[in-house]
């Protein structure tokens, strides 16, 4: 439906209406050709009579010819007027349809833009809810979820897992001596190094404060776990250049293994935390959980 100038709806012409108009136009064309032929014939007849010396024609013949042609011309004119009206209405309807299509396209573009903006906002909100705002690392909620999934996979495939609990030694001294801004930059650098070190299938998270968690998927034995822990210690222990300062950070790492030390998220993290304190007391850099060594 389209609206005319009065605001009232009128139906949009269907394709068959245009076909009828075209057919009518063809009929009108045929009639025009007939009239033209008749006029030509009448003109030729007049010329022939004049050529024979006839200088006057009977009035009734002239009138009859004139009236017959006039009727046909009017008939053709009526057909052409009908065709013109139909096509004019169709053109106006087409203009209305095109205008409506333009408005629809514009509305569609605006809707798509609003949807994309909403999706970006939803994605950002979801990301923010699962990541630490300071370091950009996964937060504890996301880590727990990934560890739970890892436990399910490990149980199904007979894998081992290692959970490393990292704590930065004497981090409070950095905040107290150089300010919290310096402490934040240290955390960001530690996060960058940890994130660059871990494999795609592993997960590093900030647990809060100066604590981090590191999940190793199927690390293939204690020897390899100890090798990874030593590499992390060396990586994080390298000096951090900060303006005119050069800070040295030493972490302590506690390690718990699945399934040896626990079969749940809580058990593995708790025992990795205990092992971290064992490493601090022994000043050994890292320690694998040993229940006999609890103190």
The answer to whether position 196 is within a domain reads: yes
The answer to whether position 95 is within a domain reads: yes
Q: Which of 71, 102, 128 finishes a domain?
A: 128
122 shares its domain with 161: no
Q: Which neighbouring-strand residues pair with 295?
A: none
**CATH number reported for the structural domain that contains residue 272 in this entry:** 3.30.70.270
**Residues 122-147: pLDDT tens digits?**
777 887 789 999 999 999 999 999 99
Report yes or no on whether pTM surpasses 0.75. no
193 shares its domain with 63: no
The parent domain of residue 189 ranges over 140-293
94 shares its domain with 153: no
Share of the chain above pLDDT 70, in %: 78
Q: Which of 105, 128, 151 finishes a domain?
A: 128
Question: Does position 113 have pLDDT exceeding 70, yes or no?
Answer: yes
Q: Catalytic positions, please?
A: 210
**How many angstroms separate the CA atoms of 134 and 127, rounded?**
13
The answer to whether position 10 is within a domain reads: yes
Instruction: Choose between 78 and 170: higher pLDDT.
Output: 170
17 shares its domain with 95: yes
Which segments of the chain does DSSP mark as H helices, in order?
Answer: 15-51, 59-130, 140-157, 171-178, 180-197, 222-237, 265-282
269 shares its domain with 179: yes
Question: Does position 186 have pLDDT exceeding 90, yes or no?
Answer: yes
Q: Which of 128, 155, 182 finishes a domain?
A: 128
Residues 6+ apart with CB under 8 A from 96: 2, 3, 12
Lowest model confidence (mean pLDDT) among 35-39, 116-120, 179-183: 35-39
Lowest model confidence (mean pLDDT) among 66-70, 74-78, 172-176, 226-230: 66-70
160 shares its domain with 78: no
CA atoms within a 13 Å half-sphere pointing along the CA-CB vector of 180? 2
Question: Does position 207 have pLDDT exceeding 70, yes or no?
Answer: yes
The answer to whether position 135 is within a domain reads: no
Number of domain units in the chain: 2
**Residues 242-254: pLDDT tens digits?**
888 899 999 999 9
Question: Does position 92 have pLDDT exceeding 70, yes or no?
Answer: yes
């Amino acid at each position: 439906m389209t609206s005319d100038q009065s605001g009232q709806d009128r139906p949009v012409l269907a394709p068959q209406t245009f076909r009828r108009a075209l057919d009518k136009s063809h009929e009108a064309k045929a009639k025009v050709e007939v009239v033209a032929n008749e006029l030509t014939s009448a003109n030729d007849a007049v010329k022939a009579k004049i050529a024979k010396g006839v200088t006057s024609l009977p009035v009734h013949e002239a009138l009859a010819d004139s009236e017959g042609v006039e009727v046909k011309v009017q008939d053709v004119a009526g057909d052409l007027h009908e065709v013109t009206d139909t096509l004019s209405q169709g053109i106006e309807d087409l203009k209305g349809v095109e205008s409506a299509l333009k408005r629809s396209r514009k509305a569609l573009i605006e809707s798509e833009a609003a949807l994309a903006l909403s999706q970006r906002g939803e994605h950002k909100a979801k990301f923010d809810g699962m990541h630490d705002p300071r370091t950009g690392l996964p937060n504890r909620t996301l880590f727990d979820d990934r560890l739970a999934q890892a436990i399910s996979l490990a149980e199904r495939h007979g894998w081992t897992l290692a959970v490393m609990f990292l704590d930065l030694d004497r981090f409070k001294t950095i905040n107290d001596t150089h300010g919290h801004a310096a402490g934040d930059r240290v955390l960001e650098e530690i996060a960058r190094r940890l994130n660059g070190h871990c494999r795609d299938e592993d997960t590093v998270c900030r647990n809060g404060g100066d604590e981090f968690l590191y999940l190793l998927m199927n690390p293939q034995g204690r020897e390899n776990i100890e090798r990874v822990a030593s590499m992390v210690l060396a990586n994080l222990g390298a000096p951090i250049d900060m303006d005119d300062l050069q800070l040295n950070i030493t972490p302590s790492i506690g390690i718990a293994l699945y399934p040896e030390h626990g079969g749940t998220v809580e058990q593995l993290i708790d025992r990795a935390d205990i092992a971290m304190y064992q490493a601090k007391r022994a000043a050994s850099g890292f320690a694998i959980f040993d229940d006999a060594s609890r103190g």
